[in-house]
Every structure is written in C-alpha cells, then in structure tokens.
Structure 1
C-alpha cells in the first residue's frame, strides 16, 4: 500500500478546499459521474419562480442555483445554515437583489406567516409545519431530497456504520408528513441513480466534502479499506454506489 505511488498520489491530490456546493474539481474532469434522473429540479422550478411574487430558496448553499435564474422581478430570499457558505452566498446573491439569511433551526425561520407563495428546497432539511406557516394559501412547495439510503455502499465497503437516524427518510414518509400538515401533493417521484467513482482520490474528496456520509471519516483511519476500493477500481475501472433521490411538489391548502 505505502509503495503504491498511484494510490498515494490520488490521496494527496484529494486535499483540496471545498467551498459553496461546487464539486467541479472532480465532476468537471469526469472523475465522478451520475446517472440521470427522469426529472430536472431546475426545469420544474424555473416556471414557478418566474410567476411567484415572493420566493424563498431554502438551503441555498453558495447561491449557485438561484443565481442562475437572475435577473429577478420578484422578491427573493434565501436561507443557509452552514456558516462557511453564508458569506459566499451573500457575495454572489446580494448584488442580484437576493436577501441571504443565516439560520440555525429549520423549525423557526425569521419570516412572517404567509410571506411566500413559493418555497423551493434542494437537498435541505425542512420542517413541514414551518414551511406551511410561511406559505400563502395555495402556495407551492417544491423539494428535491437526498433519501436515507443514499450511497450506503460506501459505508459498507469502508466498514463504517450508516446513519440510522435518516434511514426512514423516503418518499412515502415525506409525502405522508406533508399531507398531515395541510398540503396536497401534486407531483412525487423517487429514484436510485448510480453514482460512479473512477479513482480513489475522487471518493476521498467527496467524503471530505460531505462529512455526514461517514461522520468519523479520516484517511488514516480508513486507509486499508480505501486501498481495497482503489484495487477494485484498478481492476474494474470504477466503483459504483446508488444514490437515493426523491422530489415532491405540494400545494398548501
């Protein structure tokens, strides 16, 4: 292992900074590729953003998505809970007229009741009761979520425990929860697309960027298991895992 220069070079090259929600260091070079979903969050959201009077983008990250919809003729706010992302989002979005609010709790957001007629949410936690409070009657909530079974093959190969706290987080659970909070569901989909890693450095970069996948991840701690995955990639050409994605469009009663 310690004399495998390719393996060690991949590991060393993974020591790159990660900001906002930008995986281009590994996706832009094709080192990680994802199977396509049968829906596009962006294509679903865009017509609604253009029609809405007041929009909230929950969990904006570094503002990467919402910034691409400018210029805006309506009122748009964005929230972000991950502190390192907040100044990035503000720098990107505030010149476009988007107000960025740093939050700490999903169930207590600093907005008025009925302030928004559209709330969008991509891969961000949310409180159904709080989303309903913030929406006008017939307001629309659109979310794409990462399910609780996301990429569990990584944990299995590393011998790391999976996060059982989110094992229940699936489409049917989320749909039922929204129905219980005065929403009508108008669109729902769930899929398990393949995510493919073409080198071990890409996997290490991914795990460093998403610490909740393997909360105790450390290269030295998992070096032996990482090397086994590296050997698998060298033989097969890639390492596949299944993502877990679902999306919901809901209308407030």
Structure 2
C-alpha cells in the first residue's frame, strides 16, 4: 500500500509539472536583457547661461544664493563630449518586471538643496520610495510639487535641515513633474514617479543604462524639460542575456 501511495504521489507531481508548462508565464520566466547609450548634442555646444551672477544684490538671499555664479540647468551639455544631461528615458507601461526588481532596494531617495539649487535637478522616484527633502543652506526654502495624479505638497524647510521631510507619491505619474521653491523662483527640478524600474536620467556625459528589461521589442519615451517629449515611441529590441548598445542618440539645439 505504501509503494502504491508513493507511486501515486510521484505521478501527480509529474502531471502538475507538465501542466505548468501549458500555462503561460508559470513555469519559465521571461528572458532579460539590458540597454545602454548616450544622448549627444548634434552641433555646436551653446554657451552656458548664467542664471545668477556672483554678488548680484538683486538676488534674494544673495549672500547664499549668489555666493558664486550659477548656471541655468534647463539644458546642460558637456562641452568636452557634447553629452546631454537630465534627459528622461523610460518605458511607460512595462508588461513584465524582473523578479529581483519588483520592489525598490532603497526605500528612500534624497532631494537636497545647496547654494539655492536643487540637487539632483532630475530624479527618478518609484511609488514604493519616500523622497527625503533636505537643505544644506542657511536660509529657508519651500518645496512645492506639481503632480498630475498624486497629492501636491508645499511646505517650508528650515535652514540647514539635515533630517528633512518625507514626501510620498504612491501613484505613477504620466510624465515628469516640476518641483519648485516659491521663495526662490529660479529653483526648479523635475521628478518622474514610476511603479517599475525601467526609467533613467542621463548623467553628466549623457550616458544611461537600464538593466534587466524583458527581452523583445520595448517602446520607450524620451522627455526633456525644455521640449517635453523628444520621442514618444523610441523602439528597441532587447536581446536576452545581452546589453544592447544604442550608441549616440543625437538631438540638435533646435530640438529643444
């Protein structure tokens, strides 16, 4: 009787295993791949615009906010390699997410301010993360978000507040939202709130990498604060087990 029961259990296990292969997505995970590339300006790099000149007495809180020359952040191009910083690249609605990336490993991200400038200027925030807003300035600031789906916040941050205040954004946004300081109106930044890991901001060399995407055709959106959408449907074929190098993605100054 014991041998018979063991045989029945073994047979049942084999049948269940076989059925799993017939149900899509239950037995084998999708294959995954990565992409990398660089956003580059096609043409002459424009001269940087001085937003606040050192010592300008007309600047509010000039001892802090005009302690040095501050350049505009609305189009940052590396003069050495023409890389374009702060371009958002993202999948709008991924069909699958790599099992290791379904939740954020870091549950907080820091949004700071120094010299009356937000740092970073462009930020990816996942819906399961809290933004810790801090200040390293000896003057008061406020943080005012402008979301489409989440609840807006608008609060004062005391001078040199290194503990900070938490901001939650539990709903994915349609596109990056502006964050500003109403006390110092030149202070702007952009957050993009997503519920997945497939979003990135280009670095100081214009470089970007997104890892562990589902293999196959993926459609990305490319967005920059000066223009809005640079491309709503940028298609890439992700290869399983490989990193696809997209090379240089070029834009002219007139594209912005």
Q: Same fold (TM over 0.5)?
A: no
Is the radius of gyration larger for structure 1 or structure 2? Answer: 2
Q: TM-score range by the shorter chain?
A: under 0.3
Calculate the TM-score normalised by the size of structure 1.
0.22
* TM-score when normalising by structure 2: 0.22
Larger strand proportion of the pair: 2
If each structure's helix is expressed as a fraction of its own residues, which one has the higher value?
1
- Higher relative contact order, chain-length normalized (CA < 8 Å, sep 6+): 2
